[in-house]
Structure 1
Amino acid sequence: MKKYIIATLAAFTIILNSCLSGQSQNIKTNLTPTEFAERIKAQAKTTLIDVRTPDEFSKGHLENAQNIDWRNNDFSNRIETLDKSKPVFVYCLSGGRSASAASAMREAGFKEVYELDGGIMKWRGANLPETTSNTSSKTAGLSRQQFEALLASDKLILVDFYADWCAPCKKMKPYLEEISKDMANKVKVVRINADDNQALCKELQIDALPVLQLYKNKNLTWNNVGFIDKAGVLTQINK
């Protein structure tokens, strides 16, 4: 009986330890803007990394962030100067580059790496603060009035909200150019760089990329978030 009790306790201890270990391995690392802001605020000293390009960084970034471009050849060397035992917070424009950077950092031995889900676009959409390296470098971009003026046409207006470093955006660009050329009598394609038009995107609630919007007589008739192929776009245009 005594041996049975000891064996049972030992088995219970193993199960309990396994559960606790599983919990530690399942810490949420992909945080919403609010969670990201709260976690940063709770840290006495935060290592916050913006993995976008220096040009993107200069137009607006989170306060106290340091810019380490994920696509730069010196990324690996620069992160080696950081303390791997402390929490690190990373973000980019919409989440793609920061996910790749975070994965690389974990493989390099960083214990805690937190990502901003949806990137700085979701951050802006949540009306959270940001700063610039140089206030004069932040472009005003299109106003809402100027945007509305672009929609004044007897043609269909296909608006493409994109960013230079958005992989799906780059994949869609060639066929959008084809549509602009081949269907010029029916549709006008307007491309708007989200990073250069932050205020407009915020006002229009564009908080992810890419986004395609189709307008007819100034009325929004179709809205698509994320990658879509040419056939899918043509279906909407030819309705």
Structure 2
Amino acid sequence: MNSKIISLSLICLLFLSCQGQQTKTVQTVDVTAFAEKLKATDKAQLLDVRTPEEFSSGHIENATNVNWNGDDFVAKAENYDKSKPVFVYCKVGGRSAQAADKLAELGFNEVYNLEGGIMKWNASVNVKPSEKIIGICDQEYGELIKSSERVMIDFNAKWCAPCKKMNPYILKFQREMADKIKIVQLDADENKTIVDQLKLDGLPVIIVYEKGKEVWRNVGYISEEELRKHL
């Protein structure tokens, strides 16, 4: 009986030890720590795990595209040096967290995941805005938020799960409240310029304007009932 208890205890300790090692291997860090570590690493292995389309619209300098959702993620990842640090990021941090765990499973010793993804990176004061205009510009946006007494802007994305969950009732509000508030939906990927200028660092983002001035903002998921209260 005692030997069984001892054996079970040893198995538990081994399991916890492995889990601790996995946690130490993958470190999710903020923009400042990520940038500093990246700068201090010679010939850093920087992986953008978004889709090729997202990558082509803008990426962190010297990054290479290894699509997490692609069939060849593992095959491409195996081409990198597992004994050296590897840095990963995506749009807001979800896909890169999964990719980081996979890299740890593949035997990479030191993996850094960018918390908040490239949206946090682009919202950082250390990042220079791109001169290329993608989507609506600041002047057009200014006209848009003044186009009605009250305007609600919904920044979303096709890949964003909370955005998809909120979309049905936002469309419903758009119809039901047309006489009270103008509701406009903007895809963050298709309107990168204004997203960067507003320094939005997450999705979805709801901003309500009155006479062109911001009066309320919500970042992340919000229920139908709660959103209705602010409209």
Same-fold call, TM > 0.5? yes
Aligned to 2:106: 108
Q: 1:156 aligns with which of 150, 153, 165?
A: 150
Selected match of 2:54 from 28, 53, 56: 56
1:31 and 1:115 in contact (8 A); partners too: yes
* 1:155–1:185 contact (8 Å) kept in structure 2: no
- State whether residues 135 and 192 of structure 2, in contact with CA within 8 Å, keep that contact through their aligned partners in structure 1: yes
Contact in 1 for aligned 2:152/2:209 (Cα 8 Å): yes
Structure number with bigger Rg: 1
Residue by residue over 1:146-174, the C-alpha shift from the partner in whole angstroms, topping out at 9 and shown as x without a partner, is: 11211224453111112222222222222
Q: CA deviation at 1:90?
A: 0.2
The answer to whether structure 1 residue 175 and structure 2 residue 169 are counterparts is yes
* Contact kept in structure 2, 1:61 and 1:130, CA below 8 Å: no
Pick from 28, 36, 39 the counterpart of residue 38 of structure 1. Answer: 36
Query: Could you tell me how far apart the structure 2 residues matched to 1:25 and 1:205 are?
Result: 31
Distance in 2 (CA, whole Å) between partners of 1:130 and 1:48 is 19
1:29 aligned partner: 27
Give 2:201's match in structure 1, choosing from 195, 207, 232.
Answer: 207
| TM-score normalised by L of structure 2 | 0.82
TM-score, normalised via structure 1 length: 0.79
CA contact (8 A) 2:157 2:189 kept: yes
Provide structure 2 residue ranges, at least 5 long, that are not aligned to the other structure. Answer: 1-19
Corresponding residue to 2:67 among 66, 69, 77 = 69
Aligned residues: 212
Q: Structure 1 residues 131, 225: CA separation in 2 closer, same or farther (over 3 Å shift)? A: closer
RMSD: 2.5
CA separation of 1:218 and 1:25: change in aligned 2, threshold 3 A: closer
Aligned residues with identical type, % of pairs: 45
SS of 2:209's equivalent in the other structure is strand
Distance 1:176 1:108 in 2: 42
User: 1:194 aligned to 2:182?
Assistant: no
**Cα deviations by residue, 1:27-50 (Å, 9 ceiling, x for unpaired):** 781222221111111111211100
**Aligned counterpart for 1:86 among listed residues 84, 95, 113:** 84
